[in-house]
């Protein structure tokens, strides 16, 4: 028979110095993320665990030590949430670094393009897409790594999202429109899909909020609404279908060119 029981952990207070037993010897309290363990022979396991716990607590209560970074933001999260926050931050900083590298590598080509060609709508959308993406990624990276204290800045930063995503998706639409210029139905379908991208991109403005991490000045996104998933799903569908449609048209054009070449020979 398996018997379930809950083991409460010792919660370490925030102050930097723990002298003697004044803090760690307080009554144990439960973490909000405490775990239930399911084991057999629970009596022996519980007794062994409690004895080991008392030895550790006794040794700790008779030792003075300092936490080197008591206000580190991730210290206020349970382990699984701290891991997720770390991974998302690494991805964000990595994405910003890749975009900066790409802009620098293509800077000379972009300048030549501005000097050589007339300013068109597609060219304007191209630069809006690139620099709004740079501003959005850098802003988020600063927001999640710097002690800003004023977390309402996240709302202002989200205003870049409805500019970044629709402008990028519009470049895909321009490509499809150019390749299917003789097929009005396809062009109308992708235009309506692009309008859906605009609608989905607005959701982060009203569905994302931020709060301070514990007593620190660092911020984290909170109160994420379920419907903001449309901000990722709809652009993904639009861009994927646009790429598939463009690839199909390119393959058809290649096949027609090969057949015409064989016929002429």
- Dist CA 164 CA 166 (whole Å): 6
Please indicate whether residue 152 or residue 124 has the higher confidence score (pLDDT). Answer: 124
- Dist CA 136 CA 129 (whole Å): 11
The candidate with the shortest Cα–Cα distance to 160, out of 194, 121, 202, 127, is 202
Whether the per-residue pLDDT at 174 is higher than 50: the answer is: yes
What is the pLDDT, as a whole number, of residue 4? 40
Give the model confidence (pLDDT) of 197-243 as tens digits: 999 999 988 888 778 887 888 888 777 788 888 999 999 999 999 99
Whether the per-residue pLDDT at 130 is higher than 50: the answer is: yes
- Dist CA 258 CA 190 (whole Å): 29
How would residue 1 be classed by pLDDT, with cut points 50, 70 and 90? very low
Q: Which residues, including other chains, have CB under 8 Å from residue 236's CB and lie 6 or more apart?
A: none
How would residue 70 be classed by pLDDT, with cut points 50, 70 and 90? low
How would residue 249 be classed by pLDDT, with cut points 50, 70 and 90? confident
List of long-range contacts for 97-105, beta carbons under 8 Å, 24+ apart:
99/130, 99/133, 99/134, 99/137, 100/134, 103/130, 103/134
The structure's pTM equals: 0.66
Whether the per-residue pLDDT at 3 is higher than 50: the answer is: no
Could you give the C-alpha distances from 79 to 32, 118, 164, 211, in angstroms and in order?
A: 12, 54, 33, 19
Give the SS3 label for residue 210: strand
Residue whose structure tokens are 């803090």: 23
The two structure tokens encoding residue 36: 């239930």
How would residue 117 be classed by pLDDT, with cut points 50, 70 and 90? confident
């Amino acid at each position: 028979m398996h018997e379930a029981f809950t083991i409460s952990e010792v919660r370490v207070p925030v102050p930097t110095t723990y002298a003697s037993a004044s803090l760690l010897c307080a009554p144990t309290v439960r973490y909000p993320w405490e775990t239930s363990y399911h084991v057999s022979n629970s009596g022996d396991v519980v007794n062994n665990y409690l004895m080991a716990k008392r030895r550790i607590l006794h040794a700790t209560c008779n030792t003075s030590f300092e936490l080197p970074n008591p206000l580190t933001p991730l210290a206020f999260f349970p382990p699984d949430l701290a891991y997720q926050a770390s991974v998302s931050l690494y991805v964000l900083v990595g994405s910003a670094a890749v975009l900066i590298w790409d802009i620098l590598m293509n800077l000379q080509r972009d300048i030549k393009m501005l000097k050589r060609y007339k300013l068109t709508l597609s060219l304007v959308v191209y630069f809006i897409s690139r620099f709004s993406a740079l501003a959005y990624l850098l802003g988020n990276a600063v927001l999640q790594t710097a002690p800003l204290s004023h977390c309402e800045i996240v709302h202002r930063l989200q205003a870049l999202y409805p500019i970044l995503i629709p402008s990028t998706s519009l470049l895909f639409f321009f490509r499809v429109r150019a390749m299917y210029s003789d097929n009005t139905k396809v062009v109308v379908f992708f235009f309506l899909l692009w309008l859906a991208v605009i609608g989905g991109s607005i959701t982060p403005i009203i569905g994302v909020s931020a709060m301070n991490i514990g007593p620190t000045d660092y911020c984290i996104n909170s109160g994420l609404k379920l419907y903001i998933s449309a901000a990722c799903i709809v652009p993904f569908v639009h861009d994927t279908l646009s790429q598939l449609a463009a690839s199909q048209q390119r393959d058809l054009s290649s096949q027609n060119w090969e057949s015409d070449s064989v016929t002429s020979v």
